[in-house]
Structure 1
């Protein structure tokens, strides 16, 4: 009987790995996701027309064999689109849904989509009417249970963490927006009162644009420890000079930074330096001593992120106009406390100075949180059961070289793999489409070749 691979999650990672499994394997694929129409995921589901992709069209193909697949799709919608353009993020959501539909059409009935949320993954016998025993059980939030031989977690980023200790009364306050990507999350923000955005990254930029489009008239203040905004992608026609060489190894963080600064000082475009490092980042990260990795995360990670995850030029221009007009203020500050204000808003203690400033709303734009404190029900259950463990820096799950999830004792417990953001427990450059589509292909090829057979080294106790 053919094997069944369950893919948990129907966003970008789920679509890419489902497509590759159907292309590279001969078994059944079970895609489990609660969405009415899987394919868009968190990043591309609630996007509005003014939310542009943060990468050029030419970098976003779902097909590892065709770098122009997304470009060709965009040109069918608008013939003038070029590979260096930045299109609305909702376009990419449409593209992912169409990619999933195409995969379904050519699958010969091998793909089944089940609408539910997986809450736990355990060892488990197959249903009694089957001739063979499945190795994995998937418990669902609707009380049901599915079975598979292997499982791929395609669950995206961890949930945002609160920026400080939040009183339960504040958490339930209509002015505190813990997750701005929740549907209609910003609908209740007062249009004429100041709004505080905690975080100054791409999420804060998206929220700012959404508030402005919704008619917000009050000031918007964005704060973070460094007060750094994402940098801008190179404009079309800007001078471009690639680096002469890039480091292959990283004996020390200090030495690595020195080499990169020398390239930029010598005239290389810093964007080309950053982009050129991407294919070798994981090797460089692994080369660094543990103390240097700690030092990087404490002192340099934010500087890297604003250069690595950039704004489209049109978005950067709009942000600049808002700042000049006084509509958006960016400050270097930390949130020390949030309390309910008698006037119905929120009172925020900001450091330095511990200023207690009133706001009509506070929006958490800090991005993915760290494990194990910031996690959803499924990942929390996997960690509690010993099936998974956080990586050493809490950036994601611990995995082996192939993306197999490592359990509490340091070995794979179940035939369970992951790809994309959860691999940040071990790998550093693993969150963008080019890396995820490559991981999806490699994982599908390994599973097709029987990779992982006999890898289960333990049993998970399933409470009665």
Structure 2
């Protein structure tokens, strides 16, 4: 059989892990298309020293056969929460080791993929890159649409320098109360000089919960038969009450989540998204203990307030800043930072994923959370047909799956790619 060329679009965590598996476990040639240095990505490339991983180091290895690889590389204990920037450097080193071991079959194109061709990928500067198969590994959808185009409205908190430019004596509003908001709070208060308060507003006003210092043993859960959403909620609540530590139950459910999600009807999935998704995410994606303690201190000191509710309007007074109408009334903020989670597709699709949709190579997946795929991870086109040579890995699988944004799941998806290239 002739050697194939596989193009991997995206050089963040998903792209690095996919490239590693393809080179290690097949004879194919791989072309990684990524404008920046492979390994960092949005999650790790812009992290500051105080931004910690939300999972213990022992779960973060790139190599499923050696789960101590990351903790050993970073010289941390498997139960520690290492800095995210350290993990970005680890992924870069994983890629460098992979590239050194397979230099004859790897090409890195430092460019941005624009659109799919019949026999490869068109890029901004390098023209067409020929490929027999394409792996789309472009990360999360864009955040929800911004409220306004104003210099004091920060649509992207990860843009270098934007948070450092906010004066320490003006109140700041964060739209959202998830992990991104926590990261922004840590940055705004890192030097201890912030005098003005920070307010985070979200529909429920719920912050992520906190890991324990030591992990509790996982609770084994018997969930073999299909269950309704109501049955699942009742089962999980009872199991958590019996376990004594709900974290053990939430983490023990993780291997079964995608199967349980696919067993729900579309109406039940939509009901979960409306009523239960946010509470589940607060329990599932938790803060590191030291981060949780820092956030608790800021709240006790009155430097951070978390409110439930929405934003009714936002106007720009002549003197600067933004007047925001919250449920409690109108309040002036010197800066407003968008910390909302990923938006719904097609509007939140990034440039390359958006092009796939426009050209009919892909279609929006269930509930607009990602792109539609078959059971093997192949993209489904606008005509309903499966694209045999077009694969998806990472967060854009969400909707078809539920657990698809964290390293262990992306690592498993990367390993599964090998079945289709042999």
TM-score, normalisation: structure 2 = 0.96
Alpha carbons 1:195, 1:359 under 8 Å: kept: yes
> Could you tell me how far 1:414 is from its partner in structure 2?
5.8
Q: Indicate the residue corresponding to 1:418 in structure 2.
A: 392
Q: Indicate the residue corresponding to 1:9 in structure 2.
A: 10
Alpha carbons 1:250, 1:256 under 8 Å: kept: no
Q: Indicate the residue corresponding to 1:44 in structure 2.
A: 44
Deviations 1:365-393 (A, max 9, x none): 01211111112111111111110011121
Alpha carbons 2:23, 2:102 under 8 Å: kept: yes
Pairing of 1:453-464 with structure 2 (within 5 A):
none
> Could you tell me how far 1:108 is from its partner in structure 2?
3.8
2:84 to 54, 76, 89: 89
Alpha carbons 1:249, 1:283 under 8 Å: kept: no
Deviations 1:13-44 (A, max 9, x none): 00000000001111210000011x22111110
1:273 to 223, 228, 249: 249
Q: Indicate the residue corresponding to 2:308 in structure 1.
A: 332
Backbone CA RMSD of aligned residues: 1.5
Give the secondary-structure state (helix, strand or coil) at the position aligned to 1:415. strand
Alpha carbons 2:172, 2:199 under 8 Å: kept: yes
Pairing of 1:50-449 with structure 2 (within 5 A):
50-75=50-75, 81-123=76-118, 136-142=119-125, 144-162=127-145, 166=147, 170-171=148-149, 173-214=150-191, 215-236=193-214, 240=216, 242-243=218-219, 245-350=221-326, 352-353=327-328, 355-413=329-387, 415-447=389-421, 449=422
Q: Separation in 1 of the partners of 2:247 and 2:209?
A: 10
Give the secondary-structure state (helix, strand or coil) at the position aligned to 1:7. strand
Give the secondary-structure state (helix, strand or coil) at the position aligned to 1:336. strand
Greater alpha carbon shift after TM alignment, 5-14 vs 214-223: 214-223
Q: Separation in 1 of the partners of 2:392 and 2:49?
A: 31
Q: Separation in 2 of the partners of 1:440 and 1:241?
A: 27
Greater alpha carbon shift after TM alignment, 93-102 vs 383-392: 383-392
Q: Separation in 1 of the partners of 2:89 and 2:199?
A: 33
> Could you tell me how far 1:267 is from its partner in structure 2?
3.3
> Could you tell me how far 1:410 is from its partner in structure 2?
1.6
Q: In structure 2, do the counterparts of structure 1 residues 56 and 242 end up closer, same or farther at CA, with 3 Å as the change threshold?
A: closer
Q: In structure 2, do the counterparts of structure 1 residues 339 and 416 end up closer, same or farther at CA, with 3 Å as the change threshold?
A: same
Q: Separation in 2 of the partners of 1:433 and 1:246?
A: 25
Give the secondary-structure state (helix, strand or coil) at the position aligned to 1:341. coil
Q: Separation in 1 of the partners of 2:120 and 2:261?
A: 35
Alpha carbons 1:154, 1:420 under 8 Å: kept: yes
Q: Separation in 2 of the partners of 1:335 and 1:250?
A: 39
Alpha carbons 2:220, 2:252 under 8 Å: kept: no
Give the secondary-structure state (helix, strand or coil) at the position aligned to 2:366. coil
Q: Separation in 2 of the partners of 1:245 and 1:47?
A: 36
Deviations 1:418-464 (A, max 9, x none): 111011130111111111111101112321x2xxxxxxxxxxxxxxx
Q: Indicate the residue corresponding to 1:454 in structure 2.
A: none
Deviations 1:232-280 (A, max 9, x none): 01222x8x46536342334211111101111122234211111111111
Q: Separation in 2 of the partners of 1:250 and 1:176?
A: 46
Deviations 1:217-236 (A, max 9, x none): 21100010000000001222
Give the secondary-structure state (helix, strand or coil) at the position aligned to 2:210. coil
Q: Separation in 2 of the partners of 1:379 and 1:267?
A: 42
